[in-house]
Amino acid sequence: MTPHATRFAAPIAEQIWDMKYRYKDAEGQPLDATPEDSWLRVARALAATEAKPEAWEQKFYAALEDFRFLPAGRILAGAGTGRSVTLFNCFVMGTIPDSMGGIFSMLKEAALTMQQGGGIGYDFSTIRPKGAQVTGVAADASGPLSFMDVWDAMCRTIMSAGSRRGAMMATMRCDHPDVEDFIAAKQDSARLRMFNLSVLITDPFMEAVQADAPWDLVFDGRTYRTVQARDLWNKIMRATYDYAEPGVIFIDRINAANNLNYAETIAATNPCGEQPLPPYGACLLGSINLARLVNTPFEGGADIDVAELDELVRTAVRMMDNVVDASRFPLPEQAQEAQAKRRIGLGVTGLADALLMVGLRYGSDEAVAQTEVWMKAIARAAYLASVDLAREKGAFPLFDAEKFLASGNMLAMDDDVRAAIKEHGIRNALLTSIAPTGTISLYAGNVSSGIEPVFAYAYNRKVLQKDGSRTEEEVVDYAVALWREKFDDKPLPEYFVSAQSLDPIDHVKMQAAAQKWIDSSISKTINCPEDISFEAFKDVYQAAWDMGCKGCTTYRPNAVTGSVLSVSETSEAAPQVDSGAEVIYLSEPLDRPAALEGQTYKLKWPVSEHAIYITVNDVIVGGRRQPFEVFINSKNMEHYAWTVALTRMISAVFRRGGDVSFVVEELKAVFDPRGGAWMQGKYVPSILAAIGGVIEEHLILIGFIEGAGLGLKSDPKAEVSAVGNAPRGASCPSCGAFEMSMIEGCMTCRACGHSKCG
């Protein structure tokens, strides 16, 4: 096999693999020595469900090899590890009962799902509006927004307990009496930060908007008030224009097209919107990397080999179907739902790069047509592969040929596919979805994400070296790197366009072209210029409706939402981070990555029977190694309470960022009236001072301070309330790089792959 060093198209790809997908033991020691080990681990785990595992293991490995098929991160990180984790990405929780007991029962289920890292969606339309009478109680209802605040607090609690960041989607119908409060909810900068919000838009509502007709706001058969539909639509548009939320979901269109509309009703989606799901619905994700499949790129006749694409899709469908059986689920209801319908979400990534390689401008009529051709080929291959699986293993349990083929989505499918399904059934009720692929796209060599245009052709990131020095590393888009490899310094052709230079309608056309052959939905952000007029902005949503999209998410940078990464119009590279920004102060605590590097130190206090063990873990912030958390442990139970308190307090300080070296000096200054101890020829006034000395030793080791006694003497954050010189939201809360941008409906770091949506 090829040495692993040549597998990665860019250094950042190997770093993402090591940080997120490489199998490591509890102490952080790698068990996957190479990416080949990771591919083999996943292939073997998914082949294990087959009657003849050996026959499929190599085929699955070949699909994963060279990043051609990219299972979602949960599968890459969890399959074959023996860990009790879910391999599913997306969950929509059960229908919320309109009762106090039912509501909090749902809250418990959400917490259990989020503990395993699942992104969840909820429809809050089922909760009675604010001010409605509560039967048997002398009080009025507090409304769904108040309970959303409870969910938001739960998600924050799960995060603070050390789990990966939670992500939630909240939906509300356009005819719910509290919909106007829902639309305005996130205009309060401190409210519902753990949620994405989307309004469920019905066909009658859109008809009422067109006719400028009145619109009733109704709950449980009672009309609470009547508004003008166009006024309500404009409120949604204005909130989205100013605050980037809420999004819109065309829910009637989703239900009409759903292959399973005879067996379920959908009212919510997962956090990024690509997966509309019924109550307790779950879906796993995976992507075909189109950028790796183009033959003779940038040359005449460059194209994707349809036969190769067909074979890869068929293998990917089988692998993903096996995940349904291999995965664990947070709740039994989720397992039952997944087994009954065997939903999978196979999509693509690298579309924009693939279009560049065949000489097409993203958003052009030719690119739209080519996208339709590729997506149809994927849909056909996926459905026929699922038919073959049904012949071999059986159709999904709720399959009903007549009803299945009558759905809006299946009516557009080719006759030969319909005939095969009618005769043999189909293994998976739904097969295609286009998910956010920010992190796995970096892992695959920085290919363009999902069906998004290339965001930036190149940018620089700072990398901390083992000796404590920092170097700058250029991160180049996959297609651009390939162009440079072939043509050296030859200028990029005019058809190389980026997200910043595209007209919003180009985004809509590409989303609509892909949606024709996607049976679920699409995670896509339509970037709009800051100076777009409100009327033109509204036209984007109207175009999405007119062209058949199932939803629409836009992003317009402004003072409220923050700017995306700005890219020079005259240069391929993004602007450099100010090298003088040595310390980054953050308005919110840092998020905990799944894996951290650190050191454990043994401290033997002379007057104590048991040693104290101090672990300090670090993150990279602004290209600089910085302490993130501390764990202080001892077998001496007399130490238990204060060591736990110290662990929590110091970790809380570390996680907010900035120059936290003052903690060392504060600890070192603590004097114990009972007396200190001599350690290594020095008098240490207290055990707390000794702990401070150990932490200081670590800060020196990682280059955070230059030497003993050189930490700050006071907390600089006491006089700093801003985020340094960086605009709010520009700095990544995980790695500190100024690379946060809106990608596929979610603020995502281009440098490390951190995503606000998990």
Q: Which of 65, 109, 264, 274 is catalytic?
A: 274
Domain limits of the chain?
4-87+280-424, 91-257, 597-719
pLDDT value, residue 485: 94
What does the DSSP assignment read for 77-113? Answer: HHTTS--------EEE-PPPPSSHHHHHHHHHHHHHH
Q: Which of 174, 272, 552, 732 is catalytic?
A: 272
406-463: pLDDT as tens digits: 999 999 999 999 999 999 999 999 999 999 888 899 999 999 999 999 988 888 776 6
Lowest mean pLDDT among 5-14, 396-405, 634-643: 634-643
87-102: pLDDT as tens digits: 998 899 999 999 999 9
555's enclosing H/E stretch is strand 554-555
Distance of CA 424 to the CA centre of its chain: 36
Encoded amino acid at 551, one letter: G
Give the largest CA-CA distance in the chain.
88
CA dist 7 and 39 (Å) reads 12
Return the bridge partners of 614, or none. Answer: 601, 632
Instruction: Assign domain 4-87+280-424 to its CATH architecture.
Output: Alpha-Beta Barrel (3.20)
pLDDT value, residue 757: 59
Encoded amino acid at 737, one letter: A
Q: What percent of the chain has pLDDT over 70?
A: 85
Tell me how many degrees the CA angle 473-474-476 measures, rounded to the nearest 5.
Answer: 145
CA dist 527 and 361 (Å) reads 17
pLDDT value, residue 687: 87
Tokens of 92: 């929509």
CA dist 223 and 230 (Å) reads 18
Other beta carbons less than 10 A from residue 338's beta carbon: 25
pLDDT value, residue 660: 81
Return the bridge partners of 228, or none. Answer: 214
Segment 31-58 mean pLDDT:
96
191-235: pLDDT as tens digits: 898 899 999 999 999 999 999 999 999 999 999 999 999 999 999
CA dist 580 and 576 (Å) reads 11
> Which of left, alpha, beta for 681 (phi over 0: left; psi -120 to 50: alpha)?
left
pLDDT value, residue 117: 75
Question: Is pLDDT above 70 for 53?
Answer: yes
Pairing of strands 90-92, 119-123: parallel
CA proximity to 20, closest of 752, 591, 745, 619:
752
287-335: pLDDT as tens digits: 999 999 999 999 999 999 999 999 999 999 999 999 999 999 999 999 9
CA proximity to 566, closest of 727, 366, 725, 449:
727
Question: Is pLDDT above 70 for 568?
Answer: no
What does the DSSP assignment read for 728-754? Answer: TT-S-TTT--S-EEEETTEEEETTT--
Question: Is pLDDT above 60 for 730?
Answer: no
Encoded amino acid at 651, one letter: S
Tokens of 11: 């250094």
Other beta carbons less than 10 A from residue 691's beta carbon: 25
CA dist 193 and 177 (Å) reads 23
Collapsed DSSP state (helix, strand, coil) of residue 166: coil
Pairing of strands 526-527, 344-349: unpaired
- Cβ neighbors of 725 (< 8 A, separation 6 or more) are 578, 581
Return the bridge partners of 399, or none. Answer: none
Would you call 409 a catalytic residue per the annotation? no
Would you call 270 a catalytic residue per the annotation? yes
Would you call 274 a catalytic residue per the annotation? yes
Yes or no: say if 706 and 659 are a contact pair by the CB < 8 Å rule: no
> What's the pLDDT band for 735 if we cut at 50, 70, 90?
low
Kindly compute the dihedral angle of the four CA atoms of residues 296, 70, 275, 209, in this order, to the nearest 10 degrees.
-30
Q: Which of 270, 409, 446, 527 is catalytic?
A: 270
Collapsed DSSP state (helix, strand, coil) of residue 390: helix
pTM over 0.75: yes
